[in-house]
Amino acid sequence: MVDLLSLQKKFILDHLHDGDTAVDFTMGNGYDTVFLSQTVGPRGSVTAFDIQPDALLSTERNLRSNGCPDNWRLICASHDRAREFVRGPIKAGMFNLGYLPGSGRKQLTTMRKTTLPAVERALDLLGADSVLLVAVYPGHPEGAAEGEELEKYFSSLSRFRYSIARFRMLNSPESPFFIVCETK
């Protein structure tokens, strides 16, 4: 069976290496932040964003318990404000849209009004031979709308500048899917 999480990591690892810079635009509980931190190592840097203080606490615990190097910065701000905190270029960016798992607050989700501007800004931060990965959760109304808007946006980008693909289980339309955007 296809393991979408392993496939996502493969795309990131094709671009991100020791000493690079990465951004987790939606830190949640910090699993992507841990992966990015361990991948870039002590010489690299990772900045992670979330609007919920609980996410920062959970992510910091996760980073420390996994022995991550001190190469990370956690920002309590919306991902659409990334340009205020991150100077490009970055080699990898990750979005894991939806709500904070385990929070019990499923009504508090990422929203189209900030996600699309955040993705646009993330693309501006990408350097050469870089990757942006966006995981979408269409199983709730805002997630479905977010996914449709992102697909429309990514479809409009130049194929001469970006290589963009969508990975989705065809026989499970409400299952999560992801979009990978690689710079050329």
Residue pLDDT, tens place only, 11-21: 999 999 999 99
Q: Pick the more confident residue, 96 or 24.
A: 24
Q: How far is residue 164's CA from residue 43's CA, in Å, rounded to a whole number?
A: 29
Residue pLDDT, tens place only, 100-147: 565 556 566 777 788 999 999 999 999 999 999 999 988 888 888 999
Q: Give all strands of the β-sheet with 177-183 in edge-to-edge order.
A: 72-76, 45-50, 21-24, 90-96, 126-136, 177-183, 162-167
Q: Is residue 94's pLDDT more than 80?
A: yes
CATH code at position 79:
3.40.50.150
How many folded domains does the chain comprise?
Answer: 1
In whole angstroms, how far apart are CA 134 and each of 51, 54, 140, 180, 184?
18, 22, 17, 6, 18
Backbone angles phi, psi at 38, to 5 degrees: -65, -35
Calculate what percentage of the chain has a pLDDT beyond 90.
73
Residue 131 identity (one-letter amino acid): V
SS3 content of the chain, % helix, strand, coil (to 5): 40, 25, 35
Q: What is the mean pLDDT of residues 60-88?
A: 96
Question: Which residues are 135's β-sheet partners?
Answer: 96, 178
Q: How far is residue 150's CA from residue 159's CA, in Å, rounded to a whole number?
A: 16
Residue 3 DSSP one-character state: -
Question: What does pLDDT average to over the chain?
Answer: 91
Q: Which residue range(s) make up the domain with 136?
A: 4-183
